Structure 1
């Protein structure tokens, strides 16, 4: 794991809040001159701290009004079946996130579709027919209470000395 100092954390936090921030403005925000700031950003990218840049988009604004969390249980956990399942999931545009998890299920999917009919089509004609799928359980998201998909480590303020 890479060691991040407070300046690195401030850089990451600033880019999380505003990914298109010009390097001059970023440098000013974190207290560096542009050249060392650019070197730090490049190092953070090369070391995998910053993995990519993207725009956060509103699903309803894109016509994706239904969101679901789908628990998937496999009946076969052989490497071949799991790899085939994962490959099929990666190819499905409705699945925006897939996590291998512990507990009663094997995978948790975040699925976006335009409506219930589209979700039903995905679930019945695609998901349930994928390799190794024994069963699924879907929960529909009624309201997003918090969606901080862009997050960053918060720099720790120096410890206050007591008087």
Structure 2
């Protein structure tokens, strides 16, 4: 994997704000001609710095009016238990992020649901029946003050 120079970093900053920017416009903004800019962009993609391009949706507008973060503690950490739990979580579309964490919990998950009834259904009929769960603690999001997807670059 190659090192990032100042032009690469500038390209990444621009792409995080404006993923659909035309290569020619990107080239203009970073001070390159289109062909070298396109080569750099391809290298950034091939080297894994850019994992993909996607639209950022408004959760409420698409029917996910409730978000929650749920701390999960497993009853044991046997490889089979952890693997079964992780596999069950990763299949869930309403679980939009899963983090293995330190502290009093083992995992933190971010769930998006239509409403409180849907979250309750997920928690009682799905989450609490997943393998290995000892206990959970849910925090419902009241409002989103900041939700950046951009990675802070030096």
- Normalising by the smaller structure, the TM-score range is over 0.9
2: CA distance between counterparts of 1:129 and 1:57? 30
Question: Displacement, 1:2?
Answer: 4.7
Q: Which residue does the alignment assign to 1:157?
A: none
| Secondary structure at the counterpart of residue 144 of structure 2 | coil
1: CA distance between counterparts of 2:2 and 2:112? 34
1: CA distance between counterparts of 2:82 and 2:150? 29
The count of corresponding residues between Structure 1 and Structure 2 is 154
Question: Displacement, 1:150?
Answer: 2.5
1:42 equivalent in alignment to 2:16: no
2: CA distance between counterparts of 1:152 and 1:36? 25
Runs of 4+ with >3 A deviation: none
Q: How does 1:128-143 map to 2 (within 5 A)?
A: 128-143=128-143
Q: Which residue does the alignment assign to 1:118?
A: 118
Question: Displacement, 1:81?
Answer: 1.2
Question: Displacement, 1:152?
Answer: 4.4
Q: Which residue does the alignment assign to 2:9?
A: 9
Alignment gaps of 5+ in structure 1: 155-163
Q: Which residue does the alignment assign to 2:77?
A: 77
71-80 or 113-122: bigger deviation: 71-80
TM-score by length of 1: 0.91
Q: Which residue does the alignment assign to 2:91?
A: 91
Question: Displacement, 1:3?
Answer: 2.2
1: CA distance between counterparts of 2:2 and 2:104? 33
2: CA distance between counterparts of 1:144 and 1:101? 22
2: CA distance between counterparts of 1:79 and 1:19? 39
TM-score by length of 2: 0.96
1: CA distance between counterparts of 2:153 and 2:2? 13
Alignment gaps of 5+ in structure 2: none
Q: Which residue does the alignment assign to 1:64?
A: 64
Name the Cα RMSD after superposition: 1.1
Deviation sequence 1:114-146 (CA, Å, 0-9, x none)? 000000000000001111111110001111111
